[in-house]
Structure 1
Amino acid sequence: MPPRPIHEPRRADCPWCGAPRLRTRLRAPDLRHGRPGTFTVDECRECAHVFQNPRLTPEGLALYREDGPVAADEGSAVRRRHHRDAARAVLRRCPEPESWLDVGTGDGAFPRAAKELFPYTSFDGTDPTPRVVRARRAERVEEAHVGHLTAPELTARLRARYDVVSVLGHLERTPDPRAELRAALTALRPGGHLLLELPDPASAFAAVLGKWWHPHGQPHHLQLMPLANIRAELEEQGCTVLTADRRSAHVPRDLARAVSLATGRSLPRPLARSLTATAGTADRTLSPFLCRTRFANSYRVVARKGEA
């Protein structure tokens, strides 16, 4: 039997709005691991949705899947503070949730930080990889579900179970982000709160750094969604958008990630680490100013599901 293709056919229209007006945003190899292949990222001229085109098939996604140790910066003090800030955005709206589902939780870094603000909340997690099982063993989540929330059996099992559902840095890795959003809302009880955090494809860093901008990360990032598209989808699903914020969602890592990708495989390791550390210092120094400008690299949304 011949091997199955790792790419779907190339699309001539936008997977979000269906418009046929596309432009090529960039072409990039696998900069992080150096595995073979060059990937094209297109942008819709109508709705500004950004997507991998042609997209990887399930076999291709499995081939390039990352399920190893958590990335170094996720355990850093900066990342942990960012997670607490994201949890605090819910605290102002829902101070005492009984149950919380973190979608795409990985090793459970977000629940670990959120528990500092919500010590009496029960956190569960889903993830496409077995990392979520490690999160349960580390007692960062109580229930661990391996797979996508869109799987029919998982959607049915978790229907209306949670006061809060968080989806942080996950939608950009999914083949169908709109379906993931709807599954997240299905897991919420009426009146429950949805917390989203996504890279902003309108960030000026995207144009300045190009293929070296971490959220462009090929082949793992399949979609980048503008805030306007997410807001419209949530409102169409009967949600009320309570906050939509770029300033506090900004993560100061753009320069360090770009330098790491550019030097990690071409320079001696000590020199690459030194340059990356210097870039990281610049990220943190400039962050209070950049987060107020078009260089803000992410946005955070808190929405409330309708009661009906």
Structure 2
Amino acid sequence: MTMPQVSEAERARYQEEIQRGWSRFFEPRRYDCPWCGSTDLTQRLRTTDIMQRKPGVFYLDRCKTCNHIFQNPRLNIEGLEFYYRDFYDGFGREFIDGVFASQGWLYEPRAKIVEGFFGPEGPKNWLDVGTGYGHFANDARKIWPNTTFDGLDMGSSLFTGKERGWLDTIYPGEIDDHVEAIRHRYDVISMHHYLEHVRDPRHDLDVVADVLREGAYVSIEVPDAQSWLGKAFGRWWAPWYQPQHQHMLPLPNLLAALKERGLNPVRVQHREAHIAGELSCAVIFFLTHVSPNPDSPWLPERTPAQRKLHEAIWKVAPKVLQQTFKADFKYLGPAVMRFGGSNAFRVLARKEG
């Protein structure tokens, strides 16, 4: 896939930022769990940015009391801007758009989680928070053709989704920016792999509980960091997704938090929420780590030898990935779904009076 050209000014900007050091992108390390307050913590993961190869070392700690896993030290606002930049937009835009477009098989079960709770025509309106380009909304329309699908997210991808006709109404920015506009408006609000990205998941749950009208639903899907797959694949496990994932919520913690806010879980899916592709993602991450895109503006200027190595590796990569995809979807994925260990879970909850 062809990547966009990077201007010399943009490359110089990145190099200047990197020369100033990356430790300034982090908050002070904390010694208590942000979920339950326990000080009984242990390090779960140490890794680098294996997706973009931007500089930095990232740590995930696990609370032994409640099993909450969190980034520690956590990125500050400046750090989030640095590491998110050119991932969903800019330099990485075309690639990530293609990744989302290839995952249509994921969107149907997410849309069907509300089956049985509405009439045959489905929900009247649906807000997808963290919608990106709106790929989920575009596919969900096939299941619920009479439903209006709106989207909320940061970045230019939201506007692209609107231009493509995938999203009816869009809300640029964070959910806090649109509380009054979305209050009591939607039958369903979905957050698919969104809560793990935010700085305070409970705050966002507070907002959802506030804006949902009585009898409306919230659908949440997040990675399951308790899966044995996380140990099997180590730092190459896709759901760790550092440095973007700041919180990894265990299912019991999420269910308790929903109930505390008057959001009654009515459907929980674990096995059904598994996202096959662990082996393929691990191979992609490893190859990217060994030979990242030589045009990435945050990397030092690559030598001719490094460019030739990159070309050689990614020339044979499609053949390797063809086999790993086959193994993922024919063997590993079905085995995980049959014997347990799903890498995600999905919860549908109803706002009670």
Same fold (TM over 0.5): yes
Aligned to 2:349: 303
What is the match of residue 63 of structure 1? 82
Task: Name the structure 1 match of 2:64.
Answer: 45
Q: Deviations over 1:119-169 (max 9, x none)?
A: 1111111112221111111111111112121x2x41122111110000001
SS class of match (2:104): helix
1-side partners of 2:289 and 2:223: how far apart? 25
- Which region of structure 1 is more displaced relative to structure 2, 263-272 or 50-59? 263-272
- How many residue pairs were aligned? 302
Match of 2:127 among 101, 123, 126: 101
The residue that corresponds to 1:10 in the other structure is: 29
- Deviation sequence 1:34-73 (CA, Å, 0-9, x none): 1100001111101111111000001100001132223533
Q: Where do residues 288-299 of structure 1 align in structure 2 (5 Å cutoff)?
A: 288-299=334-345
Q: How does 1:1-308 map to 2 (within 5 A)?
A: 5-65=24-84, 66-68=87-89, 69=93, 70-76=96-102, 79-95=103-119, 96-149=122-175, 151=176, 153-266=177-290, 268-286=313-331, 287-306=333-352, 308=353
Answer whether contact 1:125 1:143 (CA < 8 A) is retained: yes
Bigger radius of gyration:
2
Contact 1:165 1:187 in 2 (8 A): no
The alignment's TM-score, normalised by the length of structure 1, stands at 0.94
**Bigger proportion of residues as strand:** 1
Give the drift of 1:280.
1.4
Instruction: Give 3-state SS (helix, strand or coil) of 1:90's partner.
Output: coil
Structure 2 portions without partners, runs of 5+: 1-19, 292-312
9-18 vs 277-286, which moves further: 277-286
CA distance in 2, matches of 1:156, 1:270: 51
Shift of 1:296: 1.1
Partner Cα distance (1:271, 1:229) in 2: 43
Q: Is the 8 A contact 1:107 1:132 kept in 2?
A: yes
- Give 1 or 2: higher helix fraction: 2
Paired residues of 1:99 and 1:164 also in contact (CA < 8 A): yes
Counterpart code for 2:25: I
CA 133–71 in structure 1, closer or farther in 2 if over 3 Å, else same: closer
Post-superposition Cα deviations, 1:205-237, rounded to whole Å, max 9, x if no partner, equal 101111100111111111111111100000111
- What is the RMSD of the two structures over their aligned residues, measured on CA atoms? 1.7
Q: Which amino acid aligns with 1:240?
A: N
| Structure 1 residues not aligned, in runs of 5+ | none
Do the aligned residues in 1 keep the contact of 2:50 with 2:288 (CA within 8 Å)?
Answer: no
Distance in 2 of aligned mates of 1:167 and 1:13:
27
Conserved in 1, the CA contact under 8 Å of 2:31 and 2:41?
Answer: yes
Q: More deviation in 27-36 or 122-131?
A: 122-131
- The residue identity in structure 2 corresponding to 1:219 is P
CA distance in structure 2 between the aligned counterparts of 1:18 and 1:139, rounded to whole angstroms: 45
**2:338 aligned counterpart, secondary structure:** coil
- Counterpart amino acid of residue 88 in structure 2: D
Instruction: Report deviation, 1:186.
Output: 2.5
Taking structure 2 as the reference length, what is the TM-score of the superposition?
Answer: 0.82
- AA aligned to 2:319 is S
